[in-house]
Every structure is written in structure tokens, then in C-alpha cells.
A and B are shown apart, each in its own frame.
Chain A
């Protein structure tokens, strides 16, 4: 083989193997980005509370939890997601469920070649610890074909890297679009509707009773804690070292799904616009990255939470709504408190209350 041919072969290996290119398909696996808040208490329902891209799924339980982004330095990680059980639920009804999950767009998981004869293995790795020994389940759920596979993992009081490989699934391709195709879920609590069957470590048609069979209950005691970070999802049967990214790069990836313009901050500039007439105030925001879809405006509303400065004057504004939304930009409007504004005047929008918050959301 000539030198040129050898180099070409090496390039091919690097490109097509797990060594080259971006390996971690997940966003914010190191839990470094938390645009919403760094801590949230009394959680009882599903939602995004602290670290970006990781959603708590929770229902039908009297248990309550606190979720926090915590600084816990180990193995090259600075942050982790910490869950604490603050109200226990030891009488587990059949329909109860609780855990952490992250959802991935179909267009971002095509490299698994799922549903084809040359489908790839999927390897998940993550670091966990807790207050005591426990057994939980990690699940891959194929939303497009209602197929799932789960494996149990152990938690101890020390940080441990868990690696789990799921064998290739030749049934059911992922849709190539911007909708949720693959869900990576960590089951921490479940009633018999989710635990009374038999766990399947290979992809099978989904049957709820099999999804978390054999797990402990995170909600069995207020002593319970669960820490997780360094989550990686990659092609192939080997868990490679965690792929660290810069904070700025990770933040931009997160902003495809959630963009916090301002969070509970007073006297902060948020944008500028103009009065179309004496009752119509508009302002526009270009987005830092193309969002997954036209986003929802999430705004803290209250008397004079915002101020529109114009022509040597200022108008108190309670809230805004969306006039036009695209994945690349949003036009905000106010038609209720802008009546004192001067037609054609420019407007500079500031927050005017410590609780003022504006965010755009295009989560899966």
C-alpha cells in the first residue's frame, strides 16, 4: 500500500469509527447549562425545572422532590443534576411514575440506522451516585415506532460510571424530522403499571409493564438523593470518554430548545421596538440560533413588570404576547398598557421588577 493510500485509509477509519467527529448525541450531558433556574422545590408534575434539556417526568404520586444543579467536582465534571426526595410516598399506586429524561430529534439520530439491516448498537454512559445503594433503570424509547429497551443499573454512595450498550434494532426507522424520536429515560420510581412485567434489554414493542421492572423507589424515603452527570449517548458498542464541550457551544445547542432572554432580573434591557400607534407597541428579537420550531413565549406577568422608554417618557407594561413567531425571530406586542405611547415613537424595553422573566421555548 502506498503512503497516500495508507493515509487515506487512516482518514476513513477516523471518520467512520467512534474516534472521529462528534460522539455525544446528547446536549448538556455535563449539566453545565441551567437557563431556567439552579434549584426548584416541591416538584410534583412533569416539566423542565433546572438543567437544560433534562425533563422530570412525574405523575400520580404524593411524593415531592427538589431538583438542583449542583457543583460536585469529580472525573473532570464540575456540575451534576441532584434530585432530593422531600416528601416520601411509600404507598405506591399502580399508575405512579417518576424519573429524568431527555428527548432527541429524529434528524439527530439517523446515524443509528435503526430499522435497517445494518443498524448500529447504541451505547449510553453516565456517572451516578446516591445516598444509599439502589437499582434504577435506563430506557431507550423509540417514539416513532413505540419500541423500547431498558437495562438496570446500580447506584452507590460513590460516583460510578455506568455503561450500557443496547443491541442494534433492525425494526422501525427513526423519522428524519424535528420531532421527538428517541427518548433516553432514567426510571427512578414506578407503580405496577410500569414495573410488573419483565425488563427487556433489547428493543421490543412497548408494553408499559416492562419498562421499569426491578427498580427501587426513589420516593421511599426523604433520605433519598440521586446525582447524575456526564451522560453520553453514542453510536457503537463502546463507551468512549465523555465528550466535553465549551460552555458557549453547549449553551447554543440548548438554545435551540429554550432561550432565556431575562430571568428574574430588574432593570435589564431586553429589546427595542416602536409604537405603531397609540395602542400598539411592538418589539422584535432575533434569536441566537434557529429554534426547533416557532417558540412559545414564557413571560412572568405582573403590574408594571416591564417598562417601555420612549420620547422622554416611560410606560409601565404588564406583559407581552406573540405577534409573530418563527424559529429565527419573534415579534412581541402589547395592546393593553401601551395606550399612552406616542405613535411612531421608538421604544426601549427594560425589565422593571425583580421577578420579570422572558423566555422562548421550543422543547420536544
Chain B
């Protein structure tokens, strides 16, 4: 995974009929690719682990739109 950007996806609460502040996945764009990843916040997921390493290198996850 050659990460270009990472953005938060928020949880849509069907009871409230609106988004909450809870992050449900990360939207990842990649350099030179139109393949977009939607990565669940699960520590066993190796893409999630790669995002944590990317953040540890000083990169920043963008807030949801």
C-alpha cells in the first residue's frame, strides 16, 4: 500500500438519521492508483496497521468532509 491520503469516515446512526463523531473506517487513496481503500478500525487488519505506521512517520489523518 502506497498511501497518498487518509481520511476519516464517520458512522451514520440510523436512529438519529445523521452522522455521529464515531469513526468507522479510514478512506485511503494511493499514489498512482484509482483503487481506493476503506479500512476498518481493527488492529488485526494489516492495512490498519500500515496506517498506524504511516501516522507514526508524522503523517496526518484528515477529518471527514
Chain A residues packing against B (C-beta within 8 Å): 45, 47, 178-179, 276-277, 280, 292-302, 319-325, 333, 335, 355, 357, 361-364
In addition to A298-B37, A361-B47, 5 A-B residue pairs with Cβ atoms within 8 Å of each other are A293-B42, A300-B35, A322-B24, A322-B25, A323-B11
Assess the B35–A295 pair: CB atoms within 8 A: no
Partner of A297 from B1, B14, B38, B46 at Cβ < 8 Å: B38
Question: In the complex, are the beta carbons of B12 and A335 less than 8 A apart?
Answer: yes
How close is A238's CB to chain B, nearest CB, in angstroms? 34
Could you say which residues of chain A place their CB within 8 Å of the CB of B17?
Answer: 276-277
Other-chain contact of A302, B11, B27, B34 (Cβ < 8 Å): B34
* Cross-chain contact B36 with A301 (CB below 8 angstroms): yes
Structural contact, A299 and B45, CB atoms closer than 8 A: no
Pairs across A and B, CB under 8 Å, 9 listed: A47-B1, A294-B44, A295-B40, A296-B40, A297-B38, A321-B25, A321-B36, A322-B25, A363-B46
Instruction: Please list the residues of chain B having a beta carbon within 8 angstroms of any beta carbon in chain A.
Output: 1-2, 9, 11-12, 14, 17, 24-25, 27, 34-40, 42, 44-48
**A178 to B46, alpha carbons, bound, how many Å?**
12
- When distances are taken between beta carbons in the complex, the residues of chain B under 8 Å from A363 are 46
* B44-A296 in contact (CB<8A): no
Which of B2, B24, B39 sits near A296, CB closer than 8 Å?
A: B39
Q: How many A-B residue pairs have CB under 8 A?
A: 74
Residues on A with C-beta less than 8 A from B11 are 323
Closest to A359 in B: B35
User: A295, B12: Cβ atoms under 8 Å?
Assistant: no
- Contact of A179 with B44 in the complex, beta carbons under 8 Å: yes
Residue of A nearest to B12 (CB): A280
Report the bound CA distance from A47 to B3 in whole Å: 13
When C-beta atoms are compared, the residue in chain A nearest to B64 turns out to be A335
Contact in complex: A298, B35 (CB < 8 Å): yes
| Residue picked from A292, A298, A302, A361, most chain B C-beta under 10 Å | A298
Residue numbers in B under 8 Å from A296 (CB-CB): 37-40, 45, 47-48
- Kindly state the separation between the CA atoms of A181 and B61 in the bound complex, as whole angstroms: 30
A321 contacts B40, CB within 8 Å?
Answer: no
Closest A residue to B33 using CB positions: A300
Q: Which residues of A contact B37 (CB under 8 A)?
A: 296-299
Nearest CB in chain A to that of B1: its residue: A47
Select the residue from B2, B17, B27, B36 with max chain A CB neighbours within 10 A: B36
- Asked if A294 meets B45 with Cβ closer than 8 Å, knowing A45-B2, A324-B24, A325-B40, the reply is yes
Contacts A297-B37, A302-B34 given: A322-B44 contact, CB under 8 Å? Answer: no
When distances are taken between beta carbons in the complex, the residues of chain A under 8 Å from B39 are 296-297, 322
Q: Within the assembled complex, what's the spacing in Å between the Cα atoms of A322 and B2?
A: 20
Residue numbers in B under 8 Å from A302 (CB-CB): 34
- Closest CB of chain B to A74's CB: distance in Å? 34
Q: In the assembled complex, which residues on chain B have CB atoms less than 8 Å from the CB atom of A300?
A: 34-36
A261 to chain B, nearest CB (A): 13
